[in-house]
Chains A and B, each alone.
Chain A
Amino acid sequence: MRGVGPNAHIKREGWPEMKEVFIGRENLLRLIGRWAKDHRVYVPVTFDIMNHEETPDYQLVGDEIPEKLCLEGAALAHTPKSFLFYPREVVAKYPSSDSEAEVEAPPTILVGPRACDVRGIEKFDKVYWSTEHFTEEYDDPFVIEKRKNTYIVSLDCTAAKDSCFCTEVGGEPFPKGGFDVNLSPIEVGFILTVGSERGEKLMAGSDDLVSEVQPNHKEDRDRQRNSVIEAVKRQNAEYAVDVAYEKHELGEDQDAWAHVTQNCVACGACNRACPTCTCFILVDQRAKGGYERTRNWDTCLSIGYARTGGGGNSRPNLPSRLENRLRCKYEYSRDRYGLVTCTGCGRCIDVCMGLIDMREALKHVVTEKAKA
C-alpha cells in the first residue's frame, strides 16, 4: 500500500478523459441490486417524519431497493465521514500484547455523496492516511481500512439548498474527481462516469445495463449543471467579499468574533455535520476482560476541548473557539495541508440552533479584518 499514496486509486485530474456511459433509471436500480449482493449498499432516500419532509439521508439496501429512493436534489443530511470515521468506535482493548488493530470494514458502496462531500474525504486522507505529512507509523488503520473498502458513487446536484455555497469556495455542484462512479441525473436517466479503477471493477459485468452517451444527453447534463451553478451563485451574491476564498485571513479581533458568536451555544452540531471535521477524543473505560479505549467525535467549541490538566486553557472563551473553528477551515488546513477545508456544503448553517449563518460570520470577520 505504501509508496503508491492514498489516492493512487483515484483519478482526480480530469472529467473529459473518464469513461462515460448512459444508464436508464430501471437499469440503475438493477445495477444497485447487483452491487447489494456482495456489498453493503447505502442509497439516499427521503423521510417523512410526522408529515414533515426531512433532508434525504442514507439507507441500507436490503432485499429491495427502497421505494423512496431519491437521486435528485442537493447534499444529504449525513456526510460520508460517518462511514469512514464512526462517531464512536473501540480503537483499543487493553491489557493486550497484540499490536495489530482489529478493524471491521465490510465492503461498502455509498450512493449519494455530492461534490462537497467528495472534497471532504480529501481531508481524511490528509489527516489519517497521508504520505506527505506523516510517516507510515502514523497511519490510522480504523479510517484507512474503511476507506479502502468504501466505494464512492457520487451524484451531481440537481438543485441547491438555501445554505449551499460550494461555488464560493472553489467548488462546483458536481464532482470532477475523487469518486469511483458518478451519476449525473438527466431527463431520460443518468450519465454514469467511471472515475477510478475501483469504479471499473464496480461496473464489470454490467455492460448489458448501459449504452452509449448521446450528444443530447451531454447537452442535458451541461444545462442541468449550469443551472445549479447559477442558482448557487445567485443565492450567495449577498455574502461576497473582496478576498478570494483561498486567501482568507480572518484575524484575531475578539470583538469581531464575539459579534458572530452571539447566538452560539457551543452545541457542536456544526462539527458533527461537517464533512471535514476530523477531530476526536479518546475515552477509556472498564470492559469485559479489562479496559477499552473508544474514539469519539469531539467538538472544538466545547470549553474543555483545549483545557490542560492544570486547568490552563488556550481558548477559554467561546469567540476564541469559533475563531479557531473557522480559521481551521480557511487558514490552518490551507497552511498545513494545502487544502481549504470548507467545501460549502452548508450543513453547519442547516443545523445551527442559534441560526448562525457561517457565510455571514465569514463576511463579518473578513470585512472587520480588512478595516484593521
Chain B
Amino acid sequence: MKNLYRPIESVIEDIKDETPNIKTYRFRPKEPVTFEAGQFVELTVPGVGEAPFTPSSNPNVTETMEITIMEVGSVTDALAKMKVGDTVGIRGPYGKGYDLKDFEGREILIMGGGVGLAPLRSLILALFDDIDKYKKISIRYGARTPADIVYKDLLPKWEQMKNTEVLQTIDEPHPDWKGTVGVVTVLLDDLPLVTTVDVESLPFDPKTAIACVCGPPIMLKFVNMGLLDKGWNPENIFHSMERNMSCGLGKCGHCMMGEYYICKDGPVMTAAQVAKFEDPF
C-alpha cells in the first residue's frame, strides 16, 4: 500500500526576500505535486519536522511550486537557514480547493493581512489566467508597516490587470507611506450597509459577490463581522482557517474544530460553516 506519510524530495531552486522575516521559496519536487488554489501541502525540513503551507504560485504551473513563508516557529526558522540547492520534503496536496467554476461571472473580493496574502496569491494567479470569466477582482491588502508588505514588486503589476483593483493600507502612519492608514478592515469602508443604499450603486453585489479572506485570526473575525453586517451571503465568504494541521489526512486530530477536520473539510471554510461556533477564529 502507498505510504501517505512519505515526503517527496524537493530541491530549493530560488529564495527571494520579501520582508525581513518573510521569504518566497521556489521548490522543484522530484515527483509531480499538483494542487488547486486553496489546497495546502505539508513541507518537511529534514530532521526538524513538518508544517502546513498553501502554495503561493500559480496552480497551473506544475513543475515547480513557490511558497511564501514567515519565520514563526521551529520548522520555518530552520527553513530560513537553508540555501538554494538544499533539499526539503513535500507531501500533498490536502484539503479542498476553491470552486473557481462557482466564482465565474461574479465580483471577487480578496482580503489579505500580512503574510496572509501569500496563500491568496495562488488564487489570484489562477483567476488571472481566466480573467475574462470574472466580473471584477478587488485585492485589498493590509500590512503592519511598509517594510512588512509582501510582493512589493508584484502588487503594481496586479493593478494593471483587466477588471482588477488593488487597495492597500498599513496599520500606523509612516513617513514612507502616502496611502491609506488603519487596520485592514478600513478597506471595507467603501461598502456601505446595504439597507441604506441602492444595490446598483454598490462596489459589490452583497448577494452574489465572493470574498476570500486570509490573515491573522483577529483579522478574520473582524472582516467576517464587517461583511456580514454589510449583507454579504455567509455561503460566499471563504476564510482560510488557521489550525495546527499536522497530518493533513483527517486523522491526527490536531486541527479539529467541532466535527470538522480543517485539513480535510477546509482549510478554506465558509462563514456559514463556522457560524455555529462561538469564536471560530
Contacts and interface: CB of A to CB of B under 8 A. Distances in A.
Interface stretch (B12-20, B47-55, B140-148, B182-190): B47-55
- Give the interface residue-count category, chain B: 35 or more
Given A138-B4, A140-B251, A309 B256 contact: no
Interface stretch (B71-79, B96-104, B121-129, B221-229): B71-79
Contacts of B255: 306
B23 interface: no
A369 to B, nearest CB: 14
A280 B254 CA distance: 8
5 contacts: A94-B9, A133-B250, A291-B46, A307-B244, A309-B72
Q: Which one of B1, B89, B249 has the greatest number of beta carbons of chain A within 10 Å?
A: B1
B258 A332 contact: yes
A94 B278 CA distance: 42
Interface string B186-220: 00000000000000000000000000000011000
Interface string B258-271: 11100000000000
Provide the main secondary structure of the chain B interface.
loop
B243 interface: yes
A94 B240 CA distance: 30
Given A282-B252, A300-B253, A308 B50 contact: no
A219 interface: no
A312 B242 contact: yes
A189 to B, nearest CB: 41
The 3 A-B pairs at the shortest CB distance, nearest first, are namely A279-B253, A101-B3, A141-B1
B9 A95 contact: yes
A71 interface: no
A115 to B, nearest CB: 25
B5 interface: yes
Interface string B37-75: 000000010111111000000000000000000101101
A332 B253 CA distance: 11
Interface residues of A, number: 56
Contacts of B5: 91-92, 101, 282, 293, 295
Contacts, number: 138
Contacts of B70: 310
Interface of B: 1-7, 9, 30-31, 44, 46-51, 70, 72-73, 75-76, 87, 89, 216-217, 242-244, 246-247, 249-260, 278
A97 B29 CA distance: 12
B6 A92 contact: yes
Q: Which one of B46, B217, B244 has the greatest number of beta carbons of chain A within 10 Å?
A: B244
Interface of A: 91-92, 94-103, 127-128, 133-134, 137-141, 144-145, 252, 278-286, 290-291, 293, 295, 298, 300, 305-312, 314, 324, 327-328, 331-333, 335-336
Contact of B30 (A97, A291, A311, A333): A97
B242 A308 contact: yes
B250 A138 contact: yes
A282 B257 CA distance: 20
B73 A309 contact: yes
A308 B1 contact: no
A127 B1 CA distance: 17
Contact of B47 (A97, A282, A286): A286
Contact of B6 (A96, A144, A281, A328): A96
A284 B2 contact: no
Contacts of B253: 278-280, 298, 300, 328
Contacts of A127: 250-251
Given A94-B44, A137-B2, 16 more contacts: A94-B7, A95-B89, A97-B30, A134-B250, A140-B4, A140-B251, A141-B1, A145-B1, A284-B50, A295-B5, A300-B256, A305-B254, A309-B72, A309-B73, A309-B76, A310-B216
